[in-house]
Amino acid sequence: MLHSKIIGEGTPLLILHGFLGMSDNWKTLGNEFSKKGYEVHLIDQRNHGRSFHSDHFSYELMAEDLLNYMNHHGLQQVNLLGHSMGGKTAMLFATLHPQKVEKLIIADIAPKYYPPHHQDILDGLNALNFNTINSRTEADKELSSYISIKSVRQFLLKNLYWQEKESLGFRFNLKALTKNVNQIGAALPKEAKYNGYTLFLRGSNSDYIQPIDDLVIKNHFPLATTTTITNAGHWLHAENPKMFLDTVLEFLND
């Protein structure tokens, strides 16, 4: 069963993080949604956070994980929000189980295919030797040779924890994610369609959703609208949380 943190009471809102992220990344926004009458489920997807590790990885499997999660918690219908990789999971789940999704929110990802583009990050993470690295500071120093942007390194190193006394490790399953990295950018199946209300959010400084992508979005999600979150890149929910929160709430409450 997927690990989650459940906050508040009210209408269920399930939130799925992106690649190499975890549910804790959404804790601040999750608290804000809970104050507005939502029972917020911050979910760790397989091979991430505190959820189970598996050699197998695909969006079909992650959609099945989500269905099992909903059945376990007795959730009949939910609002579903996914960022990046989590958005791909959310899209596929909504097309497979439309009756279970009241409204769908997709953050900075389109239904199209994305070529692999995480190799430098994965190379850096795999190069870390926890036999000699004994602190987050040391890990950050080593990782800087591969990843120059400090905020990206800080995001990744939130996954560090003490596996046992004096032995650091990552919460995500680095081996499985490295092996299956080509699956991360998979396109939504051509025939997949969800006819419910859908909101796509793009960061103004991100190139993940292009104007031309409106065509493929509408093919899969006929009732979709796309809104730009200003002064934000791919991590739009972290870079402009107020506009992100206000925009999502307006959509949910409409």
Three-class SS state of 18:
coil
Q: How far apart are CA 188 and CA 25, in angstroms?
A: 25
Two structure tokens written together for 130? 């926890």
Output the pTM of the full model: 0.96
Q: How far apart are CA 214 and CA 133, in angstroms?
A: 46
Examine the residue annotation and report whether 48 is marked as an active-site residue of this protein.
no
Q: Which of 41, 220, 234, 237 is catalytic?
A: 234
Three-class SS state of 229:
strand
Residue 15 has pLDDT above 90, yes or no: yes
Per-residue pLDDT reduced to its tens digit, 17-61: 999 999 999 999 999 999 999 999 999 999 999 999 999 999 999
Q: Which of 4, 51, 84, 206 is catalytic?
A: 84
Examine the residue annotation and report whether 84 is marked as an active-site residue of this protein.
yes
Question: What is the Rg, in whole angstroms, of the alpha carbon atoms belonging to the chain?
Answer: 18
Per-residue pLDDT reduced to its tens digit, 131-148: 999 999 999 999 999 999
Per-residue pLDDT reduced to its tens digit, 62-106: 999 999 999 999 999 999 999 999 999 999 999 999 999 999 999
